[in-house]
């Protein structure tokens, strides 16, 4: 069965960077695009960007361009999402979400989420 397992919660200071991982299993890793979505405490979902695990190409929403980097390691079927210059308003649960093959930007499987807390 499809599984997306994310790394453990992190606590970071303002100005630091954080790298969250998402290990995929149960399907052909390079066939499905992967997205990252975040959710601040008590707030809604926010789309951050997409990576093509096959070729490595990425697209980020304008808000995060220059501060977010998405990468992948095909040898371990893992995608990574790094956020730099962290601020307190980056405190959120970060999810990886697999895009289904049908249609566009339909997220059929999600990771369990990784809480990133930014605090001095």
Partner 1 sequence: QSALTQPASVSGSPGQSITVSCTGTSSDVGGYNYVSWYQQHPGKAPKLMIYDVSNRPSGVSNRFSGSKSGNTASLTISGLQAEDEADYYCSSYTSSSTGVFGTGTKVIVL
List interacting residues with partner 1 (CB under 8 A): 35, 37, 44-47, 49-50, 59, 61-62, 95, 97, 100, 102-108, 110-113
For residue 89, which of 38, 20, 37, 36 has the smallest C-alpha distance?
Answer: 38
Closer residue to partner 1 (CB): 35 or 72? 35
Catalogue the E-assigned strands of 2-113: 3-6, 10-12, 18-25, 34-39, 45-51, 58-60, 68-73, 78-83, 92-99, 107-110
**Are 48 and 61 contacting, i.e. CB atoms less than 8 angstroms apart?**
yes
Name the token pair of 65. Answer: 């361009």
Structural Rg of the chain based on CA atoms: 14
CB of 61 to partner 1, least distance (A): 5
CB of residue 8 vs partner 1: minimum separation in angstroms? Answer: 16
Nearer to partner 1, 54 or 113 (CB): 113
* Smallest distance from partner 1 to CB 89, Å: 16
Toward partner 1, which CB reaches closer, 16 or 57?
A: 57
In whole angstroms, how close is the CB of 13 to partner 1 at the nearest point?
A: 26
């Amino acid at each position: 069965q499809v599984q997306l397992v994310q790394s453990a919660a992190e606590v970071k200071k303002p100005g630091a960077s954080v790298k969250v991982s998402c290990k995929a299993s149960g399907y052909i890793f390079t066939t499905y695009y992967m997205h990252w979505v975040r959710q601040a405490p008590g707030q809604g979902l926010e789309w951050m960007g997409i990576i093509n695990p096959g070729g490595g190409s990425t697209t980020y929403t304008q808000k995060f361009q220059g501060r977010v980097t998405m990468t992948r390691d095909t040898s371990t079927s893992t995608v990574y999402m790094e956020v730099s210059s962290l601020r307190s308003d980056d405190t959120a649960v970060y999810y990886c979400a697999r895009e289904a093959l049908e249609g566009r930007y339909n997220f059929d499987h999600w990771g369990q989420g990784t809480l990133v807390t930014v605090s001095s």
